[in-house]
A = this chain, B = another copy of it.
Amino acid sequence: MPVAPPRPKDIPLTALRAFEAAARLHGFAAAAQELGVTPGAVTAHVKQLEVTLGAPLFTRTPRGVRLTALGQQTLPQFTQAFDALGQAVNDLRAAAAPRTVHIATLPAIAQLWLSPRLPALRAAAPDITVSITALEQPPNLKRSPYDLSLFFHDDPQDRIAPDTIFPVCAPSLAARLTSPDDIARFPCLSDAAWSDDWSLWAQSLPAPPAIAQGPTFSLYALAVEECVNGAGLLIGHEALVARHLADGRLTAPFAPRLTLQRGLRLWSDRPLRAGTAARFVADWLRRTPPDDAPLASPAPPATHP
């Protein structure tokens, strides 16, 4: 009967990951968001680590946490190690499914910009499977299983289109508008995440009109739909409403347009090697015709498995 060597159980990897994220992002709340858990979970992990270590890694203040010298000293090693691990996972995933491309994007972009382009993309590369995940925030590409990110972003690199905003509405409603001052007479739809669209645009005018507060939507695509139905005015983002403008479901009743600092950006954190599916998709999306140009064919009814 061999004596069972009671191995001292080592530190759980999740605790290390929580520490690394919290340290890198300067806060438990931010770490929790990146890891997709609640702040309480991060608290618990870090505490566990500190207990088994016998030394504090953060000094807690009521306004957040600050790394101790001990934490600062080893953070870079952990960040590097987890980056390497994330890279390895991504490479493994890519090698396992070389013809699948994972795109992370905003729900609005997914529905209004990306989705309409998919049929043509499928036609151009039938062997490539595109998987789209809607996220509110751009993920950390070093750690997440996405090949491409497509978001509005301040960085002008990899920009596909500027973000130009202006009021839009159903044609029937447009007929009853003559000047920006008429805006006050109709509800102004807005998206919860882009709640200051209206004031941004209004402030860019020489004489800012009054804005009639209308319903707020949590999904921009929903707001667009309501706008098409004549529910009111909406601030259109050119890239997202171009198709509706082109086919006449929406119209832009006023000339002034405001181009924001940010723009639609399609990027990857690692180099896209030539010949890979991700590279092809990225190139294709960058070359894709603007929405106001006619498309080759309407969307086929095919659904992909």
Residues of A within 8 A of B (CB): 1-3, 5, 7-11, 13-14, 16-17, 36, 53-55, 70, 73-74, 77-78, 80-82, 84-85, 87-89, 91-93, 95-97, 107, 133-136, 144-145, 192, 218-219
25 cross-chain CB contacts under 8 A = A5-B107, A7-B36, A7-B135, A8-B133, A10-B144, A13-B17, A16-B85, A16-B88, A53-B92, A53-B97, A54-B96, A54-B97, A55-B97, A70-B92, A70-B96, A73-B95, A74-B88, A77-B87, A77-B88, A78-B88, A78-B92, A80-B84, A80-B88, A81-B81, A81-B82
Given contacts A13-B85, A74-B92, A81-B85, 5 further A-B contacts (CB under 8 A): A7-B36, A55-B97, A74-B88, A74-B95, A77-B87
Inter-chain contacts of A70 with B (CB < 8 A) = 92, 95-96
Q: Which of B14, B92, B134, B218 contacts A13 (CB 8 A)?
A: B14
Query: Is A13 a contact of B10 with CB atoms below 8 Å?
Result: no
Q: Is the CB of B134 within 8 A of A5?
A: yes
Task: Tell me how many chains of this kind the complex includes.
Answer: 2
What CA separation (Å) do A74 and B91 show in the bound complex? 7
For the complex formed, measure the closest distance between the CB of A133 and the CB atoms of chain B, giving whole angstroms: 6
Closest to A144 in B: B10
Does the CB pair B74–A219 fall under 8 Å?
no
Q: List 8 A-B pairs, minimum CB-CB distance, nearest first.
A: A77-B88, A81-B84, A81-B85, A55-B96, A13-B13, A53-B96, A74-B92, A7-B36
